[in-house]
Structure 1
């Protein structure tokens, strides 16, 4: 789920090419293609792809990239691209421990999103975000403007500026395809393959380990107390529920996340509640804060899942389409097993 404190809104090219005519599409489920399966060390070029409706041309692997929020940053770091980054921003959670040393080498441009001038000052040759809010006029600026200046700006197909271009459903194939897109752009295809293969293996193990059963109703509770933000149809929670043989309680609501109400939740009376554990410190953000509220609220406390302590905790960042998404499957699979 994108940060709810930021309003969601709707890059100089360098020359040289050894490999032209490469086409990769960031808006379908297929991994990006490249001419050479080996890492190229920045020596290949000419990648063309479409990102949320915008044609991007990358004439050679970028060397001055800016990742505009943590999900994009962690994907780049997992691909070993810290030395190609001149900036990062919007850290919402502690960086994954295995990426912390690499993260420490990248300049932090802003606590949240950097403005256009701050990004421009880094003379970037590539911008990347998984959230469209990063490219709002009051943030880094619109992607089309960067593209007209020769700086490709890649946006995840899970959160396009034009909602008609955004994927209706979050799939792991699309998440893995995005990782491969970024690896292809930077000429490190083998690294992308290695990262994706590792994630696929973990995903397969987590699904195989799920307890299975009658298909319980699972409510995914992201944030808030009096007005809870819960998962509807099409988001990662819906996908994970289906993968594990369960049901998302609000899969009939055609919004990935929406502001719910406790009376309506009580009518559904979910079997299990998945609690997103957020570190930002807001009302009902942490898993423990959610539990305290649920046990004290006169309506929520009567839910079967609350009375029987049927909670599963996942890191808040893991419910966004990202490098961390597989960890959400692992946590829910393990949690459901312990409840069973």
Structure 2
């Protein structure tokens, strides 16, 4: 068994220090990643509000999640979070709670005596000061996910649960990579990950080479046709079509901020747009639907790795 957390606890987090005198009793989450990790650690009874959802909660947590207030589907207000009287705000994205946070800065919470913790997958090897979704300074690895799980487990004094969760995810990660390696895939297999688009006439948000989708492609031996270091750059369909990816992975989500959030809208575009429909992936039906949340740097990234390996096993790449 792991040792209990020794309070008061101080740990470094995304350039700041988190200080806690005791295990948090009331936690508000700003981001689905922190929410599901806390559920997985057996800490649902401490969660008093959630926000920022892309996909339905994992089935195993559906019942417990139904009893917890969803403050907002997207960005909550600072007041809505504070009104839940949290002693910890656990955050997925620094652009929600950070120097120019859309919800608040960390200092705004700290001034009220509320600790904040940002999942390190969003700041380790990443510069969020570049605007938008940030730019990766080095390739994402799942070690930042495991680091976040371990640190949240330490904060909540749930180290045994943290170690068990990490062990399970590591095993699933290794199995998915081994499965893909056994498929004898083409050496220059290529792909693009399409998250969404503001509308059908504008360039889509696609995955850069160093984020979570880049990790999946690298581990499964796939070349990303997008070479940007931005997390989610916009790239025109003409450029993507010229690269002609063998596989297109599209995000499936409940969020409806943009028209192309709807997976049906993505499929309609791919099959009917005069440029997109000529791509090999569309012509040969090599389109993979993946939870949008798996395309972010979260524990669901491992599930996305499994989704992609499973899909590849059903595809033919014969000329």
TM-score by length of 2: 0.87
2:135–2:230 contact (8 Å) kept in structure 1: no
Equivalent of 1:215, from 188, 211, 221? 188
How far residue 175 of structure 1 moved from its aligned partner, in angstroms, is 0.7
Equivalent of 1:239, from 202, 215, 225? 215
The residue correspondences of 1:313-332 to structure 2 (distance < 5 A) are 313-332=289-308
Change (3 A) 1:135 1:238: same
How far residue 315 of structure 1 moved from its aligned partner, in angstroms, is 1.2
What is the distance in 2 between the residues matched to 1:56 and 1:107? 25
How far residue 182 of structure 1 moved from its aligned partner, in angstroms, is 0.3
How far residue 220 of structure 1 moved from its aligned partner, in angstroms, is 0.9
The residue correspondences of 1:102-117 to structure 2 (distance < 5 A) are 102-117=64-79
Which residue pairs with 2:114 in the alignment? Answer: 151
Write the deviation string for residues 91-148 of structure 1: whole angstroms up to 9, x where unpaired.
3321111011221232222333322222222221111111123226675421123224
1:76 aligns with 2:49: no
1:277–1:314 contact (8 Å) kept in structure 2: yes
Which residue pairs with 2:149 in the alignment? Answer: 179
1:270–1:305 contact (8 Å) kept in structure 2: yes
- Could you list the runs of 4 or more consecutive aligned residues of structure 1 that deviate by over 6 angstroms after TM superposition? none
What is the distance in 2 between the residues matched to 1:327 and 1:196? 13
What is the distance in 1 between the residues matched to 2:16 and 2:136? 13
How far residue 235 of structure 1 moved from its aligned partner, in angstroms, is 0.7
2:136–2:229 contact (8 Å) kept in structure 1: no
Which residue pairs with 1:24 in the alignment? Answer: none
1:53–1:165 contact (8 Å) kept in structure 2: no
Which residue pairs with 1:142 in the alignment? Answer: 105
1:93 aligns with 2:60: no
The range that moved more, 119-128 or 181-190, is: 119-128
1:339 aligns with 2:304: no
Which residue pairs with 2:166 in the alignment? Answer: 196
Change (3 A) 1:165 1:327: closer
Which residue pairs with 1:307 in the alignment? Answer: 283
SS of structure 2 residue aligned to 1:276: strand
What is the distance in 2 between the residues matched to 1:338 and 1:169? 28
Equivalent of 2:229, from 254, 274, 281? 254
Write the deviation string for residues 283-307 of structure 1: whole angstroms up to 9, x where unpaired.
2223332222111111111111111
What is the distance in 1 between the residues matched to 2:112 and 2:135? 23
How far residue 233 of structure 1 moved from its aligned partner, in angstroms, is 2.0
What is the distance in 2 between the residues matched to 1:319 and 1:299? 25
Structure 2: 5+ residue stretches without partners: none
Change (3 A) 1:231 1:111: closer
What is the distance in 1 between the residues matched to 2:116 and 2:135? 16
Equivalent of 1:288, from 244, 264, 270? 264
Equivalent of 1:121, from 83, 92, 99? 83
Equivalent of 1:169, from 139, 151, 161? 139
What is the distance in 1 between the residues matched to 2:184 and 2:140? 22
How far residue 69 of structure 1 moved from its aligned partner, in angstroms, is 2.1
1:297 aligns with 2:297: no
TM-score by length of 1: 0.82
